Amino acid sequence: MYERIEPAQLDSTADGTPYSARFGDVYHTQHGALGQSRHVFLEGNQLPHRWQRKSRFVILETGFGLGLNFLATWAAWREDPKRCDRLHFISIEKHPFSASDLAVAHRRWPELATLSARLCAQWPTLTPGHHRLWLEDGRVALTLVFGDASEALAKLDARVDAFYLDGFSPARNPDLWSARVCHQLAALAAPVATLATWSVSREVRQHLEYARFRIDKVRGFTGKSEMLRGHIAGAPEKIHRPHGREAIIIGAGLAGTSLAHRLVKRGWQVQLLDAAAGPGQGASGNLAGVLRPLPSLDDNRLARLTRAGTLAGIRHLNALGAAGHAVRWAPTGVLHLARDPQHEVRQREVVDSQQPPADFLRQVDQAEASALAGWPLAVGGWWFPGSGWVQPPSLCAANIAAAGDGLSVHYGVSVCGLDRLDDLWQVRDQHGDIVAESTCVILANGADIRHFALAGTLPVRAARGQVSHVPAAEGSAPDIVVCRLGYVSPAIDGVRCAGATFLVDDDDPALRESEHADNLAKLDFILPGFSQTLGDTPMAGRVGFRPASPDRLPMVGAIAAPGTYPPDATLDQVAREPGLYAISGFGARGLVWSAIVAETLASQLDGDPLPLERDLVDAIDPGRFVLRRARRDRFSSDG
């Protein structure tokens, strides 16, 4: 079920201290708030000393509030010449502020103005789930988790070195200090994790001690005589050992180039192999694709993943552009029209129930939809103002350019064999020659993954998709993306894309007039009468073959080895092909999935906190199919 985010309101007491009317408490002390943050949370966790000379350090905070603790920690990290290579700061907030309110609140600390401006510039739209912001050229990651702390902690996958227990007082907000939350924190603790909090509540101390934290009272800040400091006692060792930080990726489309970029940014050396003469020549080769989510009333896994993927994709596009690697794309907005009046009612129910931020999604009626499209339409629908179109090959090229020297790309290499010798995978070309070796190989070669016997547990099917290129004058309507059982783009280089067909297990690469006719019929369904404006001008187009998944979700992670499993087996019991991974099954949503699943797999390979909730990571795990087969076989035998 969708967890609607109710933003915090910026109020203040008579002396100007930020105050929450919802909880009847202040966000920080009247005087010396920055000093308190440094004393309680940084010094209380022995920082910066504990992060020095480490490759990674992970902090988890239970209440982001005004973000002062994060800003103070970020500033301390920047000033420390012995700082860790990468700082992960995870913060949970049920009632986040808007970016504008944060900017106003931060004026109280002019020494943090530069960092505040950078944070506010990247501040996410207030939708539930994980939002990962990369700062300091990828060396500081702020993962904001908007939602209830207890629910969020249960779905968090991280190994935490230090805990900041902050938030309104236990008397005002007891849920944040509950026994359940304290046990959830302990489950995430690294073996030498520490914690600090300003609260000295007897009940909080008891909850923490029952959860295996050893707690001490120490000197508090200024007017507060005491605070709590602690460390985990007997936490289980959970060591992650990356594959030597070298990898081979097969496929230079959206999946492969996105993953290559994320791994190289973590310091990996990556070889990228592709049979084509350049990036994005296969299923990722269309002139334009659509980047937008697919909401549902129950906020199911597809809805949550497309929301996370769309928002992560937009952040990635903006980051590439800011780094000088501009992608051909435009946030024109995407209008998702209802199929019929009944569907329009269901669309409105989603918006009325979830009340998403207007900068993410709002409902528009037939008149407003027609005005947005510049064309008379039959129905209204969903309007996604921040979404738009992207040219996939330009995104692939930008991913490669932004990766830098840690990436070596080899085109014209048809990978036809994959053998394992001791701990190494040997990659062979069409001549049988070994072209690369590594302990870690990722198959990102679209529908061609079916040609590898080692990926036989993945039920990937090839789906033929034909897009039609419709002649269009620049600036002509529509100048937004419009969808309705198909899509039509704005004019791009004198044409607009319309389509697309989706035919499973049809391997004919030739353009078909019948599919052009299908696309024109879809175009008229989207924009009534539009095809009549085209005359007899012959249309061009493009055919691609997409890797389709039977459950419409991508396949991302370690490839499952064949085996026999009991019907109640879990994913952690599935045997895996050692060092062999897949990033596939995108279907028609390559632009939506690529950034978020690449960050997820890169985080798994390198041991970082994951950027998605645990249940969503499980939902895209390639091992899910062998478990479904086991349950299906059991059902068949019982029947």
pLDDT at 600: 98
Region of poorest pLDDT, from 6-20, 312-326, 501-515: 6-20
246-282+393-459+550-638 fold: FAD/NAD(P)-binding domain (3.50.50)
Region of poorest pLDDT, from 166-170, 327-331, 492-496: 166-170
CA distances from 124 to 4, 67, 313, 544 (A): 15, 14, 12, 33
- The mean of the pLDDT values for the chain is 94
- Mean pLDDT, range 323-334, rounded to an integer: 97
Among the four given CATH numbers 3.30.9.10, 2.40.37.20, 3.40.50.410, 3.40.50.300, the one describing domain 320-385+461-548: 3.30.9.10
Tokens of 550: 């039977």
Exposed, middle or buried, 327 (CB in 10 Å: 0-12/13-18/19+)?
A: buried
End-to-end CA distance of the chain: 33
pLDDT digits (tens, 9 = 90+) for 232-274: 987 555 555 555 799 999 999 999 999 999 999 999 999 999 9
Comma-separated ranges of CATH 3.40.50.150 domains in the chain? 11-232
Rounded to an integer, what distance in angstroms lies between the CA atom of residue 218 and that of residue 209? 16
- Assign 3-class secondary structure to 231-253: EECCCCCCCCCCCCCEEEEECCC
Rounded to an integer, what distance in angstroms lies between the CA atom of residue 485 and that of residue 112? 48
List alpha helices for 457-589, DSSP H.
513-526
pLDDT range class, residue 30, cuts 50, 70, 90:
low
Q: Report pTM.
A: 0.95
pLDDT at 222: 79
pLDDT digits (tens, 9 = 90+) for 348-381: 999 999 999 999 999 999 999 999 999 999 999 9
pLDDT at 185: 97
- Side chain identity at residue 449, one-letter code: I
HSE-up (13 A, CA, CB side) for residue 477 = 14
Tokens of 264: 């190289």
Comma-separated ranges of CATH 3.30.9.10 domains in the chain? 320-385+461-548
Chain position carrying tokens 């103070």: 72
Comma-separated ranges of CATH 3.50.50.60 domains in the chain? 246-282+393-459+550-638
Alpha-carbon torsion angle 496, 502, 508, 513, nearest 10: -50
- Mean pLDDT, range 520-542, rounded to an integer: 90
pLDDT digits (tens, 9 = 90+) for 160-190: 999 999 877 787 888 889 999 999 999 999 9
Rounded to an integer, what distance in angstroms lies between the CA atom of residue 73 and that of residue 50? 13
User: Beta strand 424-428 with 289-291: parallel, antiparallel or unpaired?
Assistant: unpaired
**499 vs 441, higher pLDDT:** 441
pLDDT range class, residue 65, cuts 50, 70, 90:
very high
- Mean pLDDT, range 408-435, rounded to an integer: 95
* pLDDT at residue 223 tops 80: no
DSSP state of 210: H
pLDDT at 225: 81
* pLDDT at residue 346 tops 70: yes
Please name the CATH architecture into which domain 11-232 falls: 3-Layer(aba) Sandwich (3.40)
Q: What share of the chain is helix, strand, coil (3-state, %, to 5)?
A: 35, 25, 40
